[in-house]
Structure formats: C-alpha cells, structure tokens
Amino acid sequence: MFTQINYPSRLDYAAICQRPALEQGQLDALISDVFRQVRSKGDQALRELTATYEKREITDILYTAAEIEDLASKTDIALQKAIDHAYANIYAFHAAQKLVPNKIEVNPGVVCWQKATGIDKVGIYIPGGTAPLFSTVLMLAIPARIAECQEVVLCTPATHPAIFYAAKLCGVTKMAKIGGSQAIAALSLGTESVPKVYKIFGPGNQYVTAAKMYANRLGTAIDMPAGPSEVAVYADHTANPAYIASDLLSQAEHGADSQVILISTSSDIVEKTITEIKIQLAELPRKDLAEKALANSKFILVNTSAEAIDLLNEYAAEHLILACDDAEEFSGYIRNAGSIFLGNYTPESAGDYASGTNHTLPTNGFARAYSGVNLDSFTKKITLQSISKQGLEQLGKTIIDMAEAESLQAHANAVKIRIN
Amino acid sequence: MFTQINYPSRLDYAAICQRPALEQGQLDALISDVFRQVRSKGDQALRELTATYEKREITDILYTAAEIEDLASKTDIALQKAIDHAYANIYAFHAAQKLVPNKIEVNPGVVCWQKATGIDKVGIYIPGGTAPLFSTVLMLAIPARIAECQEVVLCTPATHPAIFYAAKLCGVTKMAKIGGSQAIAALSLGTESVPKVYKIFGPGNQYVTAAKMYANRLGTAIDMPAGPSEVAVYADHTANPAYIASDLLSQAEHGADSQVILISTSSDIVEKTITEIKIQLAELPRKDLAEKALANSKFILVNTSAEAIDLLNEYAAEHLILACDDAEEFSGYIRNAGSIFLGNYTPESAGDYASGTNHTLPTNGFARAYSGVNLDSFTKKITLQSISKQGLEQLGKTIIDMAEAESLQAHANAVKIRIN
C-alpha cells in the first residue's frame, strides 16, 4: 500500500515531485455550451441546467434573507460556538495583513505610495458533496469582508445549516442556490439574479475547475489554479509517529487523489509511522478514500536534513508539516510551500479550521509561483504619485532622456511642457 | 477625430467603458504548434523558428557575459546616468513594499505569521519593435532582484545597448536572443539553454500575449492578462489644457489601439484641450499612430465630480491622471485604477520611467480585479504557524467540532491524539 523510497539521488527528485497529470481542456466543449446557455437565457438557463445536471428544481435563484436566517438558526449550538471562535482567529490573522502605509519621498518633491482597495464584486463557490465546507466559507468571506468588497456572492448547491450560519456571520451579501459549472458561468457573466463578479474563489470538482479556467480566459480573475490537496511531512528522530500518521490520514481522507508524502532522516520513524497508519486507518469512516490516497503515497528516507530541504523545495507542498527539532529554524530554509506547520503540536487540521491561517492554498507544485489566499487576494494595490513643480524639474531630465531613447517623443514632451 | 460625449446618464457608462474586443484563442493552433516544436526539439526549434518568423540566424541561444558587457558599454553616457537615476528610484519604492513581519499570537500558544520568498525562477520578455523598452527591463528586473529571485531569464530579440545596460545593472542572470511566441514557449517548457521558469512577465504583440495565455494554461504563472495601454484624465477648471493634451498624446503615441479618455466638469477645459492636442500633435514623430488612437478617444463632459468618480471607477483605467483641485483627497474615492497621478505636475511619463512606481499595469478594465506589478508579483507569501501543547488544548475543541461537522474524522483525530 505504501511506496517506500530509500536514499534517492538528486536525479530522482523530479520523479518524486511529479503530480498526477491534470486534464486540460477535455471538458471545454461542455463548459463552453454551459456558458453559452447562461449568457443567452440567464436565470432560466440556471434552472434548466440545475434540473438536468443535479436533478434539483429551483424557482428563485437567490435565497431570501429570511431563508438564510432560518437555515442558519438550525446550526447546532456547539458548532456555532466553534465557528465563532474560528471566525475570530481567521479575522485577526487576516486583518493583520492590511497594507502598511508606505508613502515615500523618492526624490525631493517626488512622493509615491500604494493603497489597497477591495475588489468591488467577488464570487465564492462552495461545493455540495460529502463534506459541507462551511470552513471554506469562513476562509473566503472573512478576507472579503476585511477588504471591504462591496458585493460578496456565494453560490452553493449545499444546504448544511452551518454554511448559512458562516455566510451570515461573514456578511455575505447574496447567496445563490446553484452549483457546478453553471454557477461559475453565472458569476462570470451575470444573470438577472446573480451579479457579474470580477473574481471567483473556491474549490470544486473537475467541472467547476474547468469552468473557472474558462471564466479566467474570458477575463474574470480566479483565486488560483486547482489540483488535488496534498501534505508533506518532514520528520526527524524527535517526531511522534502516531501524530505523523494522524496528519497523513487527515490529508488522505480528503479523496482518492490526495497526495501524501513523508520525508524523514530516520528509518525508525518511517517504519513506526507506517505501523501507526494501519492502526488508525482501521477506525476511519472514510477509510476507503484514505486507502486509495495512501496507495499513491510516498515514504522517503533521506541521508540528511539538507537533502530533505532540497526535496521539499522542489516538491513545493501545499501543506508542509515540520515535525523536527527546532522547526522554526528549519522553516527558514523552505522557499516553496503553501503553509507550514511547525512542531509536534501543530497539526494541519489547526490551519484547516481555526488557527487563523487560510486553508485555500496552492496545490500541484503551484506554491513555486503562487501564494495561498490572503487579504491581498481580495484587494488590488493601486500606486499613487504626487510630484511638485520642483520635483519634476529635478526628475525631468531623466524622464526626457529615457523617453527620447525609446523614441517616445510625446512622453518627453509631457515633461518639457511643464518645466520649460 | 474626437468623440465628444456631453452629460451621459448612468446607463451610458457601460458603453463608454467598453474596450475593443480582444481576440480569444484565434492563434491557438499556431501557438500550440510552436510549443510542440520547442518541447520536442529544444534549442534547435528556437533556431528554426527564429529563422522562419524573424529572418534572423542565431547559433548560441544565450548571450555570453562578454557580449552583454560589450553591448551594455555602448550605451550613451547621459542615458546611463538617466537609467541609474531611474534604477535608484524604482529600487527605493519597491524595496519599501517588503512584507512587514506580522507574527501574531491569535490565541495563547497559537502563533501565526507570513513570510515572503522570491519565486525561484522568473522570465522577462522584452519585445523588439519600434521602441526599445529598456524601461521595462528596470520595471521587472528590479523587483525580481529585491525579491531575491534566484534565476532571472530575459528573452529579447531587441539589441539596443540600453536593454543590456539595464539588464546588467539589475542582475539579470541570463539573456536569450529569442523573441515571439517561441521565447515564451522556451521559458515555459525549458530547453537546453533556457531554464524553465515558474512565472513569465512582460509585454508583447498578439503572438506573445497568446503564448503567455497558453503557457498559463500549462501551469506557468503570468504577470497579468494583457490589453492595449490606456489613460484617463480627470480635469476640473484648475487643470492646464496644454498639460492634459501632452498626457493624452503620450498615451496615444503608444499605438493605434491605445485608449485615451478625458473626463471633465468644464466644457472650457475640454475645448481648449482639443485645440492644444491639434497643435502638439503636428510636431510628433509618431503622429500617425497617435492620430489613429485619437480616433477612438472619448472626451466626456460630466455635471459633477461625483459623476466623474462613478464613471472612473466603472472604467478602471490603467493610468489615471487627476488634474484637479485637491487631487489627493479626490483619489480617496477612486477604487479602481492601475496607477494614479496627482496634480498638474505629475505626468504619466514620470511613472512610465523614473518616479519609482511600476509601469506594468492592468489594462482593459482588469484594474477592477488585478494590481499592477509590484514586489508581491515576484514573491509568494507562505503562512506559518506554531502551536504549543497548551495552545492546542485550548483550540482543540473548536477544530474537533468543525471537523466532525464536516464529516472529516481523521482531521479531528489529528487533534485528539495530541491532546488526549
């Protein structure tokens, strides 16, 4: 069930870091047809597509405030308290990401700075399916609120009360009863009921993913490219095999395509972790899914922590758990990862739900170039500059010389006319 | 030559804000073939494609350090000084964007923070053509250096000495003699000479743009979607028509598809600006291009500054010049723009070259959802968290309740096993 790789050479790293190939464009014809229908028939297309693909009848596309209130109130009280706690932590961490004012006088009389403004209209997709992802509502709608996005439209085919409780708590402005690629088409194009948004966030199946890529090509921004969820654990001799096993399993239970990797300098830890996994797996309700994911897992023994660092930077894990001595110092060598969990008492599930960090993270090696969702994801940074007449007189020659060398005379003239 | 629109109603805004339709996917077959050749034949494909499309013979793909040194040294001394000055300003403004440490103890024993790491390998494309864009080398390679990107690969078919001077100054690590879609394919796929990079930046013609979109679908990040350059000027009665005319012309000279808009509360200013444009245009070397762009320009008279704000926020200009009384206060109402230029002595060309802000900005309304290039563009923000045993004991119930409500038992177990 487990692939064990002992002491790989640098040449093996590329193969170890290979993710399953993602399907590209195979669904394009289908998605393009869904977009065409939504573009031409608006809400009516959403009703028809929901009936066809989901066997659900919907009349109104949007939930009313009373419906949201009613569903939200059905949330178990203990769960409400848990969500409130997570909300406070996620809010605190994301609010701390606000742009620090950076007005600087670059030259005398030449002042430049940035300001961040919320993206006016954003869409959040929350899938239906086996796990009701109210935690993802928090992870996306909280930074949207902090960014002061004016319209936050949440589309979901799911009806779990906690999704409505979380949405209400976060100030989501509209909720739509739609799912799948038609929900993404509605957010991208707009319909009578669903506002056209400028950026779409959230997880989904292959249809939703393909629809987000399609929307992106039409000009709607998206959070990031998608791929199966993954965890890499680095463990030295100080790690606890039972804890590691529980982390690997919490990733494996997400789905059969989940990626699970253990890298260790200790063969003892690797063996004991495998034993622990077998014990803990037996008890899991989602045992079948986890078992399938474990079939693709890799347990890799390396000679030194330096080798582990190289391999981890090449792999660029979505979640990276450092179960090792002085994990914080070790993390200083990590250049590529979505989110890093330090030490024996920091399980991935803390960040998945409640510590405050975001759980929407780059998979599939995208952590080499992409950040996870953070406050920036819901804002644009606009640059501003203010130059005095004296400032322009000082800077003018530089601008004129460069503009003329680029053969852009009108650019030079815009300075000359002001200072001559 | 000028379209004048007087006192439009809110219903007209959508039409006013319409940009020319961008071609989507028409070049896909050609681009796909270029990528296929580069994938299968590497450097040899680059030689063949350069001979076919550009009628240039190249043997070595990369410039040697001696070649770069030699070309750079041919840069005019006055221009070197200008580039050095711009370098210092752009460096200072982008260095001020470094992530401020934000380690926070969200709950007792639950500490979360972000760190920014440079994208290890980035590619910069600088087109050939009529204007040798050494300024764009500065705008992209300076933040790459501040971000500590380890490999910065610059591809350009241009041979203007200043491009080499700027690249050397910025610490570009490799320069390749290639252009067009084959350069983008090389950066995205890698060849014997050109390293595969994780993110590609820079302007280009329709082939380059289509190739960047194609690379993006293959998993390479790109700076932002492209469109024709544009400026919007807001002018009240305090503005100077000659200055406005010079700014509109400096945008218009970029190319026939440039977008130029003037919004004003003063009919007198609009009329005088049109007169000034005619006078200044006559003297321009790129008069023909500018005239074509002006044919699509719009001069819009509005009743109030509040109407102007609405229209400007809907338009979401790449460059926005505020030539009005108390421009800084006015800018507080602007939610959507790439870069804002305040007052009568802040021409767009200051930001294009030397004030310190970046000139790679979102066109085509993309400023509603995208930031211009800034230090973030060359980094990823990784979240980290460190939880103590006591911290996890406090946070544990929240995580467990949420995980169990999402039917993810292994997520709950990862906490239970640590605190029970």
Torsion angles phi and psi, residue B34, rounded to 5: -60, -45
Whether the Cβ atoms of residue A179 and residue A154 lie closer than 8 Å to each other:
no
Within this chain, do residues B290 and B206 fall inside the same structural domain, yes or no? no
Interface test with A, best of B313, B341, B411 (most A CBs within 10 A): B411
Q: Report pLDDT digits (tens) over A72-98.
A: 999 999 999 999 999 999 999 999 999
Q: Report pLDDT digits (tens) over B277-325.
A: 999 999 898 888 889 999 989 999 999 999 999 999 999 999 999 999 9
pLDDT of amino acid A22: 66
Restricting to B residues 297-356, those with a Cβ less than 8 Å away from any Cβ of A are 313, 327-328, 331, 334-356
A47: Cβ contacts below 8 Å, ≥ 6 apart: A57, A58, A59, A61
Q: Report pLDDT digits (tens) over B35-80.
A: 999 999 999 999 999 999 999 999 999 999 999 999 999 999 999 9
CATH of the domain at A35: 3.40.50.1980
Residue B22's pLDDT band (boundaries 50, 70, 90)? Answer: low
Angstroms from B328 CA to nearest CA on chain A: 8
Q: Is A85 annotated as a binding residue?
A: no
Restricting to A residues 142-161, those with a Cβ less than 8 Å away from any Cβ of B are 160
Within this chain, do residues A238 and A149 fall inside the same structural domain, yes or no? no
**Greatest C-alpha distance within chain B:** 82
In-domain check, residue A374 = no
pLDDT of amino acid A102: 92
d(CA B102, CA A98): 10
In-domain check, residue A110 = no
Percent of chain B with pLDDT over 90: 90
Percent of chain B with pLDDT over 70: 99
Would the ipTM clear 0.85, i.e. be above it? yes
Cβ within 8 Å, pair B374-A354: no
d(CA A415, CA A397): 9
Q: Which two tokens stand for residue A97?
A: 């990401």
The alpha carbon dihedral of A205, A208, A210, A212 has a sign of negative
Within this chain, do residues A295 and A177 fall inside the same structural domain, yes or no? no
A366–chain B Cβ distance below 8 A for any pair: yes
Residue type present at position A61? I
- DSSP codes of every residue in B241-277: HHHHHHHHHHHHTT-TT-EEEEEES-HHHHHHHHHHH
In the predicted structure, residue B141 carries a pLDDT above the cut 70:
yes
Percent of chain A with pLDDT over 70: 99
Within this chain, do residues B262 and B392 fall inside the same structural domain, yes or no? no
In-domain check, residue B261 = yes
Q: Is A229 in a helix, a strand, or coil?
A: coil
Residue B256's pLDDT band (boundaries 50, 70, 90)? Answer: confident
d(CA A262, CA A249): 12
In-domain check, residue A151 = yes
In-domain check, residue B248 = yes
d(CA B86, CA A396): 11
User: Closest by alpha carbon to A31, among A185, A145, A135?
Assistant: A185
Within this chain, do residues A200 and A242 fall inside the same structural domain, yes or no? no
d(CA B319, CA B4): 20
Whether the Cβ atoms of residue A290 and residue A253 lie closer than 8 Å to each other:
yes
Residue B129's pLDDT band (boundaries 50, 70, 90)? Answer: confident
Within this chain, do residues A58 and A203 fall inside the same structural domain, yes or no? yes
Restricting to A residues 269-298, those with a Cβ less than 8 Å away from any Cβ of B are 280, 283-286, 290
Angstroms from B129 CA to nearest CA on chain A: 11
pLDDT of amino acid A94: 98
Tell how strand A104-107 and strand A110-118 pair up.
antiparallel
Q: Which residue in A has a C-alpha nearest to residue B403's C-alpha? A: A353
Within this chain, do residues A233 and A187 fall inside the same structural domain, yes or no? no
Residue among B318, B328, B329, B348 flagged as catalytic = B318
The Cβ of residue A149 has, within 10 Å, a number of other Cβ atoms equal to 24
Within this chain, do residues A38 and A186 fall inside the same structural domain, yes or no? yes
In-domain check, residue A373 = no
Q: Is A85 marked active-site?
A: no
Residue type present at position A346? T
In the predicted structure, residue B23 carries a pLDDT above the cut 90:
no
Within this chain, do residues A150 and A177 fall inside the same structural domain, yes or no? yes
Domain end position, chosen among B191, B222, B253? B222
Domain end position, chosen among A197, A222, A247? A222
- DSSP codes of every residue in B36-55: HHHHHHTHHHHHHHHHHHH-
Chain B residues whose CB is inside 8 A of the A336 CB are 117, 120, 380
Q: Among all chains, which residue has been given the structure tokens 């405030």? A: A65
d(CA B264, CA A168): 41
Average pLDDT over residues B372-381: 98
- Counting the structural domains of chain A, the total is 3
CB pairs under 8 A between A and B: 424
Average pLDDT over residues B119-124: 98
Can you list the residues of chain A whose pLDDT is less than 50?
Answer: none
CA A224 to each of CA A123, A216, A306, B60: distance values in angstroms, whole numbers, following the listed order: 14, 10, 30, 36
Whether the Cβ atoms of residue A115 and residue A67 lie closer than 8 Å to each other:
no
In the predicted structure, residue B402 carries a pLDDT above the cut 70:
yes
Which ranges of B332-408 would DSSP assign to H, the alpha helix? 348-353, 389-405
Angstroms from B6 CA to nearest CA on chain A: 27
Within this chain, do residues B232 and B163 fall inside the same structural domain, yes or no? no
Domain that includes residue B37, residue range: 28-102+119-222
pLDDT of amino acid A192: 98
In-domain check, residue B371 = no
A374–chain B Cβ distance below 8 A for any pair: yes
Q: Is A280 annotated as a binding residue?
A: no
Cβ within 8 Å, pair B353-A93: no
Cβ within 8 Å, pair B405-A76: yes
In-domain check, residue B375 = no
Cβ within 8 Å, pair A413-B246: yes
Residue among B94, B160, B319, B359 flagged as catalytic = B319
Angstroms from A63 CA to nearest CA on chain B: 22
Within this chain, do residues B191 and B298 fall inside the same structural domain, yes or no? no
Domain end position, chosen among A178, A203, A222? A222
d(CA A172, CA B123): 39
pLDDT of amino acid A23: 63
Within this chain, do residues A215 and A237 fall inside the same structural domain, yes or no? no
Q: Among all chains, which residue has been given the structure tokens 């020659």? A: A397
Beta-bridge partner residues of A323: A235
Q: Report pLDDT digits (tens) over A391-407.
A: 999 999 999 999 999 99
